[in-house]
């Protein structure tokens, strides 16, 4: 009987690990989508519009990264 309980406990740990892995993957997908959307929107702006916002075209990747991941590349 104890063996069965131990096996169930191990299975539960594996399920927990798998759930954490799924959530991690889902979070990365959300971050990547936010990065792509931010970058796409900024790249659509003209140089004049970017300048009005105080941004340079060269900084679009860093800005999108910070917006999505809260870090700078």
Task: Tell me if residue 46 falls in helix, strand or coil.
Answer: coil
Other beta carbons less than 10 A from residue 66's beta carbon? 15
Element of type H or E holding 68: helix 60-69
Cβ pair 69, 39 in contact under 8 A: no
Using pLDDT thresholds of 50, 70 and 90, give the confidence band for residue 1: very low
Are the beta carbons of 34 and 28 closer than 8 angstroms?
A: no
pTM assigned to the model:
0.71
pLDDT in tens, 48-64: 999 999 999 999 999 99
- pLDDT tens across 13-34, in order? 778 989 999 999 999 999 999 9
Cα 69 to Cα 63: distance, rounded to the nearest angstrom:
10
């Amino acid at each position: 009987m104890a063996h069965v309980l131990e096996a169930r406990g191990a299975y539960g740990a594996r399920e927990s690990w798998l759930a954490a892995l799924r959530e991690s993957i889902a979070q990365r997908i959300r971050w990547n989508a936010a990065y792509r959307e931010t970058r796409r929107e900024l790249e659509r702006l003209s140089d004049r519009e970017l300048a009005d916002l105080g941004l340079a075209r060269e900084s679009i990747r860093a800005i999108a990264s910070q917006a999505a991941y809260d870090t700078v590349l």
